[in-house]
Amino acid sequence: MHQPLARHWERTWVQGWYYNPIYPGLYFYALSKSPDAKNPDTLIEATIGEPETLDPAWAYDTASGEVIFNIYDTLIFFDREHVDKFVPVIAEKVPSVENGLVKISEKGMTVIFPIRKGIKTHDGGEITPEDVEYSFERAMIQDRDGGPVWMILMPLLGVESLSELGNLSDPNDAARIGKMIDEAVEVQGDNVVFHLVKPYPLMTFLQIWSQTWSSIVDKECAIKHGAWPGNKDNWVEVFRKYHNPEEPELQEADCGSGPFMLEKWEHGKQISLVRFDDYFQGPAKLKRAIIKKVDEWPTRKLMFINGDADIVYVPIMHAKELEGAEGIRCVKGLPTLANTAIFFTFKIDPNSPYIG
């Protein structure tokens, strides 16, 4: 078994980049370009593929995650390159046993997040504790097949899927499960309180709550785009309409409060983000970030060499083509949270066409 190492390629005029193996995408808020760079206010990334969706409760791919990380905020976030240290974002503090925001007993575990005031959203509102509660309840209700929400369900409800708790079409089961969702996340004044069914590793909990599926959405904006309206009077109907939908409710919506806003998504070509000047931590240094879908390596290579792309995905088999190139920097030996394994089989069909 082998842990693969990653590489990062960028023009030398790019400044501020850092790497965290838990979220390998680009966090544009940290980046800038030197004044003598080509298009100094705009960062262009040329890569393969494109996002599947901009819905935080649906997205489970890295391309979607990169965009969501930049247009949404989470309660807490990783402290730069650290995977075990966190900084408060929408929350005012990172919960811990020491500061009294994590309480553990034989019956379960409670994690409290004091919510920061005055955070503006891209839709013109402000983030409230009710938005935080709604974001997690909506994610649990959606719980789409093959999605990321199992990581939220595990600590809060003790299951990987709502279907494990009962029949969502049965009025009694639906009411019971809905009550569990409602009671798992509560607003208490300026705090949002998470009630876990049993003690859970705090480090793991904080890592999960720092990821894209834990993004905080503007409730009014989400409802405006067709998401769950927050009603809890008929859980059978709620689950029928909003559980495991065929399509993401917030497919191309921007209901975030992050440092960048969605400008335009040209499917199959590129996605453009523009700076949110009212970002609560101050405006980003870049005015715009563009992620271009360029599947052909020769085209990406030419863009990189000519300075038409600042950061480029370089397949390992083509790495030597750029090593030592003027104005291009490669950071090697980056750890990844992945393993590559080779397995042997000794029961081989003598007639197999794969025998050399």
Same domain, 204 and 138: yes
Same domain, 81 and 195: yes
Q: What is the per-residue pLDDT for 343?
A: 83
Domain of 40, CATH number, reads 3.40.190.10
List of the chain residues with pLDDT < 70 = 1-3, 338, 356
Q: What is the per-residue pLDDT for 156?
A: 98
Environment class of 182 (CB within 10 Å of its CB; exposed 0-12, middle 13-18, buried 19+) = middle
Same domain, 216 and 88: yes
Q: What is the per-residue pLDDT for 249?
A: 96
Q: What is the dihedral of CA 46, 49, 52, 56, to 10 degrees?
A: -50
Same domain, 93 and 130: yes
Same domain, 19 and 158: no
342 belongs to a structural domain: no
**Residue finishing a domain among 191, 209, 242:** 242
Q: What is the per-residue pLDDT for 3?
A: 62
**Angle at which helices 171-184 and 150-157 pack, to 10 degrees?**
90
| pLDDT tens digits, 257-296 | 999 999 999 999 999 999 999 999 999 999 999 999 999 9
Residues 355 and 348: beta-carbon distance below 8 Å: yes
Same domain, 85 and 151: yes
Domain of 132, CATH number, reads 3.90.76.10
Q: What is the per-residue pLDDT for 22?
A: 87
29 belongs to a structural domain: yes
Same domain, 32 and 174: no
Residues 91 and 209: beta-carbon distance below 8 Å: no
Alpha helix (H) residue ranges in the chain: 62-71, 129-142, 150-157, 171-184, 202-208, 219-224, 235-242, 297-306
174 belongs to a structural domain: yes
Buried b / exposed e over 293-323, threshold 16 CB at 10 Å, is: bbeebeebbebbbeebbbbbbbeeeeeeebe
343 belongs to a structural domain: no
How many structural domains compose the chain? Answer: 2
Same domain, 181 and 215: yes
89 belongs to a structural domain: yes
Same domain, 120 and 181: yes
Same domain, 94 and 181: yes
310 belongs to a structural domain: yes
348 belongs to a structural domain: no
Domain with 273, as residue range(s), is: 5-53+62-68+264-335
Q: Measured between alpha carbons, how far is 356 from 353 in angstroms, rounded to an integer?
A: 8
Q: Measured between alpha carbons, how far is 266 from 271 in angstroms, rounded to an integer?
A: 6
Same domain, 172 and 320: no
Q: Record the pTM.
A: 0.93
